[in-house]
């Protein structure tokens, strides 16, 4: 076989493996819930922009240019409690969704039962959505604290399964 043929056969074998992964139901569930939580996180940018515009609270001088020049525009260079609240919610998403992405992927590859994996992914996504509502409405504590703890516990549970399956020190 020529080198080109060998390379092309290797490539199609790699493609076959990728297709197998996409055919894997746990991986598809992971891809679905990851996309949901990432879209939810991206929504935080839009909500931040909405509050910045409606509350007229900006951080960059160029963002206030449409409100006039000099001192009249300067007063819009300020912080606003609603904008800061969404930003804290967004930061909390980053602190929790990024670990979910990495640990969740390893978990999906560690061969869990589909039903168990779905319970993990659904509870995590639900908890992060509740956390966002609890932060933005805001709901009285311990609403936000509990929703955060549930999502956190799901990620720890997946990490435990990964280490139980794959520990190699
Ligand atoms: N970075 C977080 C770590 C602890 C945490 O995530 N707590 C949850 C439940 S109270 C939370 O919603 N914290 C608010 C936040 O991160 O802005 C913090 O500063 O609070």
Q: Who lines ligand 1 at CB under 6 A? A: 88, 92, 95, 144-145, 148
Long-range contacts of 24-27 (CB under 8 A, 24+ apart): 24/108, 25/114, 26/108, 26/111, 26/112, 26/114, 26/117, 27/108, 27/109
Q: How far is CA 75 from the centre of its chain?
A: 34
Radius of gyration (C-alpha) of the chain in whole angstroms = 22
Instruction: Give nearest CA residue, ligand 1 atom 1.
Output: 92
Reported as a single tens digit per residue, the pLDDT across 2-19 is: 888 888 888 888 877 777
- ipTM > 0.90 for the complex: yes
Nearest Cα residue to atom 16 of ligand 1: 92
* Cβ-Cβ contacts under 8 Å for 103 (sequence gap 6 or more): 155, 158, 159, 162
Cβ contact 128:120 at 8 Å: no
Q: Whose CA is nearest to atom 18 of ligand 1?
A: 92
Residue 105 phi, psi dihedral angles, 5° rounding: -65, -45
Model confidence over 114-157: pLDDT tens digits?
Answer: 999 999 999 999 999 999 999 999 999 999 999 999 999 999 99
Whole-prediction pTM value? Answer: 0.90
Region label for 21, one of left (φ > 0), alpha (ψ between -120 and 50) or beta (otherwise): alpha
């Amino acid at each position: 076989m020529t080198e080109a043929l060998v390379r092309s056969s290797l490539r199609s074998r790699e493609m076959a493996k990728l297709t197998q992964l996409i055919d894997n139901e746990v991986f598809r569930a992971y891809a679905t819930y990851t996309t949901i939580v990432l879209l939810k996180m991206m929504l935080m940018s839009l909500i931040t922009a909405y509050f910045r515009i409606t509350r007229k609270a900006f951080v960059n001088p160029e963002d206030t240019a449409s409100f006039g020049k000099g001192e009249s525009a300067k007063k819009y260079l300020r912080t606003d409690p609603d904008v800061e609240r969404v930003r804290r919610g967004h930061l909390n998403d980053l602190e929790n969704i990024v670990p979910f992405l990495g640990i969740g992927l390893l978990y999906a590859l560690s061969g869990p039962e589909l039903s168990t994996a779905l319970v993990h992914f659904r509870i995590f996504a639900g908890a992060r959505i509740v956390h966002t509502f609890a932060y933005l409405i805001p709901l009285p504590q311990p609403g936000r604290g509990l929703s955060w703890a549930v999502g956190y516990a799901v990620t720890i549970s997946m990490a435990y399964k990964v280490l139980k399956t794959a520990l190699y020190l």
